[in-house]
């Protein structure tokens, strides 16, 4: 398979990229920080330095993918941006940054990759949300920008699935609970999650490969624990 992963320099995205490479897939990693991935030098690994908050940077990354691959089987929109501050103190620039990475980037990336999806094989777009953005879940102070953006990507998933349902493209969203990542530490300092990045990456890998057989346009909570 040919797989595109955003935010693969650390945490779940890094472990997911390793799994995909280990299973012999062609993997395109779009990330700002490339050092950890470039050390891999694995066959089939393409590391593209990308600022997902910048529309032009996303377009350049897609051009590089188009030169190297004829089609895309899976897109995992995993990259995330978080600000942990009281609602009244969050600046417009901080809010904009979070939404650019968490909502605008998945929208634009799939829009640009659309001609490479669903032609030679079924395509599956997996958007990574958070249980914090899941309707009816417990919300926490300081995470209004992050959680609301994750609610937005869940809603976008439903819209994308409707747009693509006759085009051999499935779109689903996983709302993740607590995973022991650097981002979790930013949101909940000192908290120890019951799930490791590798464990969650293994789940996402299998879902990306097979989830389209059972779901479309669904927002699925994957949460053993919520801080």
In this predicted model, what pLDDT tens digit does every residue of 50-106 receive, in sequence order? 999 999 999 999 999 999 999 999 999 999 999 999 999 999 999 999 999 999 999
User: How many Å apart are CA 192 and CA 184, to the nearest integer?
Assistant: 9
| Residues ≥6 apart with Cβ < 8 Å to 96 | none
Q: At which residue do the structure tokens 């022991």 appear?
A: 180
Residue 18 pLDDT: 92
CA distances from 149 to 81, 143, 157 (A): 9, 10, 12
User: Considering Cα of 41, then 43, then 49, then 53, what sign does the dihedral take?
Assistant: negative
Burial 105-114 (b: 16+ CB within 10 A, else e): bbbbbbebbb
Residue 103 pLDDT: 98
| Residues ≥6 apart with Cβ < 8 Å to 210 | none
Stretches where the chain sits below pLDDT 50 are none
Report pTM.
0.93
The topology (CATH level 3) of 2-222 is: Rossmann fold (3.40.50)
Residue 53 pLDDT: 97
Ranges of each domain in the chain: 2-222
Backbone angles phi, psi at 24, to 5 degrees: 85, 15
User: How many Å apart are CA 25 and CA 136, to the nearest integer?
Assistant: 37
């Amino acid at each position: 398979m040919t797989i595109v992963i955003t935010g693969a320099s650390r945490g779940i995205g890094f472990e997911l990229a390793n799994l995909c490479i280990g299973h012999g897939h062609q993997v395109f990693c779009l990330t700002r920080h490339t050092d950890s991935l470039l050390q891999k030098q694995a066959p089939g690994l393409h590391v593209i330095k990308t600022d997902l908050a910048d529309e032009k940077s996303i377009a350049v990354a897609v051009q590089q993918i188009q030169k190297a691959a004829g089609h895309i089987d899976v897109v995992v929109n995993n990259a995330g941006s978080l600000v942990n501050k009281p609602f009244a103190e969050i600046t417009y620039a901080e809010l904009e940054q979070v939404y650019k990475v968490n909502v605008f980037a998945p929208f634009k990336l799939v829009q640009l990759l659309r001609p490479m999806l669903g032609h030679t094989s079924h395509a599956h777009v997996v958007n990574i949300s958070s249980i914090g953005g899941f309707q009816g879940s417990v919300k926490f102070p300081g995470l209004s920008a992050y959680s609301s953006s994750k609610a937005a990507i869940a809603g976008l998933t439903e819209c994308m699935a409707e747009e693509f349902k006759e085009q051999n493209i499935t779109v689903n969203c996983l709302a993740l609970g607590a995973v022991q990542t650097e981002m979790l530490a930013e949101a909940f300092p000192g908290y120890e999650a019951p799930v490791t990045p590798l464990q969650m990456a293994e789940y996402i890998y299998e879902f990306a490969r097979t989830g389209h057989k059972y779901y479309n346009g669904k927002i699925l909570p994957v949460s053993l624990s919520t801080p």
